[in-house]
Amino acid sequence: MSTPQTAMSPRKANLALATLFLGMFVLGSGELGVVGVLNRISSDFHVSISSAGHLVTVYALGLAIGGPILTALTIKMEKKTVLIGSLVLFIACNLIAVLTHVYGLFLVLRFLIGASQGLFIAGAFIAAMAVVPPERMGQAIGVVISGVALSGALGLPLGTLVGQTLGWRGSFMAITGGAVLTLFGTLALIPTVPPAGAGAAHQAKYAFAPKVLAVLFLNFIVFSAIFAALTYLVPFLQHVTGISGALLSVFLLAYGAATAVGSSVVGGKFADHRAGRTLIIGSFGIAASLLLLYYVGQIAWLVAIVLIGLGLSFYSMVPSLQVRVISLAGPGGQLAQSLPVSAANVGIAFGSFAGGIEINDHSDSAPVITGLIFAVVTIAVAWGTSYLKPPVVEESSATAESVPEPA
């Protein structure tokens, strides 16, 4: 994929990456924060908790479907403008959501907010890769992704605290304030990043090539494996490990901190040089962690160590998944880079559904086994996709060179 490079000093590049990190953290917190205030929303709109849960579903659909559509529609636009537009849409929809008392409109707004996050993510990856040298693209992607990881570790508990204290509307206003801060940072610190490559129709044949779809399937199955177990981690910790109260937050924060380290420190570094091999090692790490979690689940200190290993293994893979998709799409990289988040959200939904069936039919440990089964499949798929190579495009017709990545 061609990524137009913008000459920037290391200090300015780091400030730009920090702005993109903040945006990913704020928008990721907006996605997860609603989980902690569903009871407040249910009461306010006079709907059931299960109906309020649809806010999570439509947001995921906005990310998975709306994000790629908006990315395709804006593919020929300058990327700083795209980032600004996505933030303005995110802010406007959140403000309207705070003011509305119509639940149907609230659902539509959540879809649009999810779509705006998907558009921001695609633009953020392009901007991040544009401000660093080509050999640091994986690290730049890792920094951006770590914003999402940190939103899982801190955004959800902080959003829940604010929501339970100030109400769900107060929680949404806090997220909106963070988005406004990101908007100012984008205006001041993100350079102009011109579009590169052909239009969406031309890029689609590369973005949806079989080899790209194979890595997207790997993305799907990785997130399925993790969220089959992670969705029901709290019941596991309560009923199997025997911990409760504030100690639950400590265990969840340990996992969340490991995901942030895995994406920004470990995953980003190895995505630049050994993305294919990183995916294999990470898959083994996930499978081993889930297997250990099942067998040592009653020993609290071992569970804490296993959760750290699970978080490191999982998010060390995420930058490489993104790099592999962009690399294998070649000239279709700009369109393709919006697809991993779609595959991830479908995987989250599927994994949570599969884990839910097992916990209902069997025990609190059953979702861990479900995740382990998916993780074993992940190892095979990671090994198979490691042999895939970027497309060879004639120089005269190529719109870009592929992101360099040794197998």
The pLDDT, as a whole number, for residue 393 is 62
193-210 average pLDDT score:
77
Q: What string of H, E and C letters represents the secondary structure of 44-68?
A: HHCCCHHHHCHHHHHHHHHHHHHHH
The pLDDT, as a whole number, for residue 126 is 87
pLDDT digit string (tens) for 61-84?
A: 888 889 889 988 888 889 899 999
Stronger pLDDT, 189 or 395, i.e. the higher one: 189
- H helical segments located in 231-299: 233-236, 246-261, 268-271, 275-295
d(CA 315, CA 338): 18
pLDDT digit string (tens) for 111-144?
A: 999 999 999 998 998 899 888 887 787 788 888 8
> What is the assigned CATH class of domain 1-196?
mainly alpha
Kindly indicate the confidence band of residue 256, based on its pLDDT and cuts at 50, 70 and 90: confident
Domain ranges of the chain: 1-196, 199-407
The pLDDT, as a whole number, for residue 196 is 63
- Which amino acid is present at 246? A
Neighbour tally for 194: CB within 10 Å: 12
Angle at 307 between CA 139 and CA 153, to 5 degrees: 60
- Residue 278: both structure tokens together: 């990183």
The answer on pLDDT for 158 being more than 80 is no
Stronger pLDDT, 241 or 195, i.e. the higher one: 241
Q: How far is CA 285 from CA 94, 210, 223, 407, in A?
A: 38, 27, 14, 20
- Which amino acid is present at 350? F
The pLDDT, as a whole number, for residue 136 is 80
The answer on pLDDT for 198 being more than 80 is no
d(CA 266, CA 282): 11
277-284 average pLDDT score:
93
- Residue 42: both structure tokens together: 């249910």
pTM score, two decimals?
0.77
Same topology between domain 1-196 and domain 199-407: yes
The answer on pLDDT for 307 being more than 60 is yes
DSSP-derived secondary structure letter, 131: S
d(CA 308, CA 251): 9
The answer on pLDDT for 403 being more than 60 is no
> What is the assigned CATH class of domain 199-407?
mainly alpha
Kindly indicate the confidence band of residue 394, based on its pLDDT and cuts at 50, 70 and 90: low
The pLDDT, as a whole number, for residue 6 is 62
Is the sign of the CA dihedral 166, 90, 124, 17 positive or negative? negative
Residue the block writes with tokens 């294919």: 276
The pLDDT, as a whole number, for residue 396 is 41
pLDDT digit string (tens) for 215-243?
A: 999 999 999 999 888 878 878 888 899 98
